[in-house]
Structure 1
Amino acid sequence: MEVTIDKNSGYCFGVEFAIQMAEDELAHEETLYCLGDIVHNRMEVERLHQRGLRIIDREQLAELHDCKVLIRAHGEPPETYALALRNNLELIDASCPVVLKLQNRVKHAFDLSQRQDGQIVIYGQPGHAEVAGLTGQTGNRAIIVMTEADLDQIDFARPVTLFSQTTKSTAGFYKMKALMEARITAAGGALESFDANDSICRQVSNREPQLAKFAALHDVIIFVSGRKSSNGKALFSVVQQFNARSYFVENETELEDEWFAGAQTVGICGATSTPLWLMQQVQARIEAVGELV
């Protein structure tokens, strides 16, 4: 049985940058605080915990003073930086450059919309850290949408500017765009007042066609990702479309031997938050299964 790891899977630039910054700090610090999971992968969070990285929430952040705190790739709203100044916190800012650029675009669009009685809409997962950072640029007045039912929050007679969380599905974004255009037409509004911005990271969106090809090449696909990962859910749905024998696991302990019955080739792939070392552990476990059958 041949087992292959997809060369295009694994950390995107933003996540790799954040992990490296954490490791660089922990090389000379016993403890480093991180606001939220540094990456949506439980195994990697546990590995870094052993190195001294301590995950905190916003309530815990408010209690900290005179120490270092890592800002992960997802970015943060303005109030986090204001709190850091008040509490004399040194921020190790690992915000992804793509996310920071999007935050600036959202802020600029919001300022403009205020003069035009417009609305800022974010296609993204409510409660997601990146989405919180984006809505923070609007004083938390942006409208968050994930489903068609969420569109009921929007007044389509007024101007609308749409952005996307950087890790969402491209197909999902364009489906939402089409639904919004239909609503505008039905409400008698002008499509000229609708500004849709495809702000999905191309490191993420380019993986969809690559994964589709990879999934079709193998008898069985094992998709490795943390279950909290929005990107992982989106990419796994792509894999499932092209290979019915696709399975989602967090680590090698979740593998089932019967999945590989009769398989000649197995492909391993993952999300932008999946470390290579974890996919390699999954590969080793599958190869051990192959030696037994």
Structure 2
Amino acid sequence: MEVTIDQNSGYCFGVEYAIQMAEDEMEGENTLYCLGDIVHNDMEVKRLREKGLKVIDREQLKCLSDCKVLIRAHGEPPETYKLAIENNIELIDASCPVVLKLQHRVKTAFDKMEREQGQIVIYGKKGHAEVIGLTGQTLEKAIVVMDDADLDRVDFSRPVTLFSQTTKSTKGFYALKEKIADRIREAKGTLTEVDFNANDSICRQVSNREPQLLRFAAENDVIVFVSGKKSSNGRALYQVCQQVNSRSYFVENEDEIDPSWFEGASKIGICGATSTPMWLMERLRDFIQSLEDKTVFAQ
């Protein structure tokens, strides 16, 4: 039996950068605070906690002073930086460069929309850390949209500028773009560049994983998809695997593996989300191979 790890899976460069910054800081510090889970993977959070990384929320941040706090790859709204200055907090800013660029674009577009009585619409998950950082650029005026029901909050008689959370589905973004365009035509009888400006702000390192994952899932008899349960990217990529391979299973760690999944399989593929560490996928590979060594699989 062959067990293969998808080499395109694992951390995107933004998450990898944030974790490396955290580890570098902790080499010389007893405690480093992190505003929210550094990554949506409980196994990695646990590993870093044991090294001295202490996860806090925004309410706890208000009570801190004279310390170091890591900003994770998702980025933060302007209020976080203001609070850090007031409380003499040194920020270790590991915001993903792609996210920082998007924040700047959203802020620039918001200023323009304010002058033109328009609206900023963000395709994303309400309450997601990155989305909080993006809406913070708009004085919380941006309209966050995930499904058709959310579109009812948009005034289609006014100009609309659309952006996307960097980790959302490209297919979903363009479907939303068409729905907004149709609604504007219905409301105004026409559609011009003044009426609607759609910005595909999805990270290509993330979106390109979908076609790669489709091929990987089709090439293997069984897929073990490794991800934290809180990862929206993980859930989306797991569904990609299921599209082409019905024998795809979502696990957080090796404790959730059922040996019966592999009966009659000769090729097993292991893959994961942008928040899944390579060391965890390697651990699952070794565990699955150990099952074969124990002659668990049916021949």
TM category, shorter: over 0.9
Match of 1:194 among 196, 203, 216: 196
Bigger Cα displacement from structure 2, 242-251 vs 186-195: 186-195
The answer to whether the aligner puts 1:75 opposite 2:75 as a matched pair is: yes
> Aligned pair count?
293
Deviates more, 1:45-54 or 1:180-189: 180-189
Tell me what 1:63 maps to. Answer: 63
2:273 corresponds to: 271
Q: Which residue type is aligned with residue 164 of structure 1?
A: S
Which deviates more from structure 2 when the two are superposed, residues 225-234 or residues 122-131? Answer: 225-234
Name the structure 1 match of 2:209. 207
Tell me which moved more, 141-150 or 235-244.
235-244
The one-letter code sitting in structure 1 at the alignment partner of 2:24 is: D
Amino acid paired to 1:184:
I
Deviation of the 1:263 alpha carbon: 0.6
Q: CA deviation at 1:236?
A: 1.1
Alignment-derived partner of residue 291 in structure 2:
289
Give 1:120 shift. 0.1
Match of 2:161 in 1: 161
TM-score, length-normalised on structure 1? 0.99
SS across alignment from 1:163: strand
Partner of 1:51: 51
Once the two structures are superposed, residues 41-75 of structure 1 have per-residue CA deviations (whole angstroms, 9 ceiling, x without a partner) of 00000000000000000010000000000000000
Q: CA deviation at 1:179?
A: 1.3
SS at match of 1:63: coil
1:172 maps onto 2:178 in alignment: no
TM-score if structure 2 supplies the norm length? Answer: 0.97
Q: Secondary structure at the match of 1:209?
A: helix
**1:7 corresponds to which residue?**
7
1:194 partner amino acid: F
Change (3 A) 1:78 1:190: farther
For residue 108 of structure 1, what is the aligned residue in structure 2? Answer: 108
Question: What does residue 226 of structure 1 align with?
Answer: 228
Q: Following TM superposition, by how much is the alpha carbon of 1:182 offset from its aligned partner in structure 2, in angstroms? A: 1.6
Q: Find out whether 1:133 has 2:133 as its counterpart.
A: yes
User: Shift of the alpha carbon at 1:186?
Assistant: 1.8
Residue 251 of structure 1, CA deviation? 0.7
Q: Which amino acid aligns with 1:183?
A: R
Q: 1:250 aligns with which of 238, 249, 252?
A: 252
Contact kept in structure 2, 1:118 and 1:158, CA below 8 Å: yes
Q: Tell me the alpha carbon deviations over residues 65-93 of structure 1, each in whole angstroms, 9 at most, x when there is no partner.
A: 00000000000000000000000000000
Q: Supply the distance in 1 between the matched residues of 2:124 and 2:16 (Cα, whole angstroms).
A: 22
Query: 1:111-136 deviations in whole A, cap 9, x for unaligned?
Result: 00011110000000010000000000
Query: For residues 9 and 144 of structure 2, what CA distance do their matches in structure 1 show?
Result: 29
Root-mean-square deviation over aligned CA pairs: 0.8
- 1:223 is displaced (CA, Å) by 0.6
Q: CA deviation at 1:237?
A: 1.3
Identity %: 70
1:280 — aligned with what?
282
Query: C-alpha displacement at 1:233, in angstroms?
Result: 1.3
In 2, Cα distance between the equivalents of 1:178 and 1:269? 32
1:156 is aligned with what amino acid?
F
Which residue number corresponds to residue 262 of structure 2?
260
Deviations 1:19-59 (A, max 9, x none): 00000001111100000000000000000000000000001
Q: Which runs of 4+ in 1 moved over 6 A?
A: none
Q: Is the Cα–Cα contact under 8 Å of residues 157 and 189 in structure 1 kept in the other structure?
A: no
State the Cα deviation string for residues 272-293 of structure 1 (Å, max 9, x = none): 1100000011111111222312
DSSP 3-state at the match of 1:137: helix
Q: What is the rounded CA distance, in whole Å, between the counterparts of 1:266 and 1:135 in structure 2?
A: 42
Number of the residue aligned with 1:37? 37
Q: Which amino acid aligns with 1:264?
A: S
Cα offset, 1:189, TM superposition? 4.8
SS of alignment partner, residue 223 of structure 2? strand
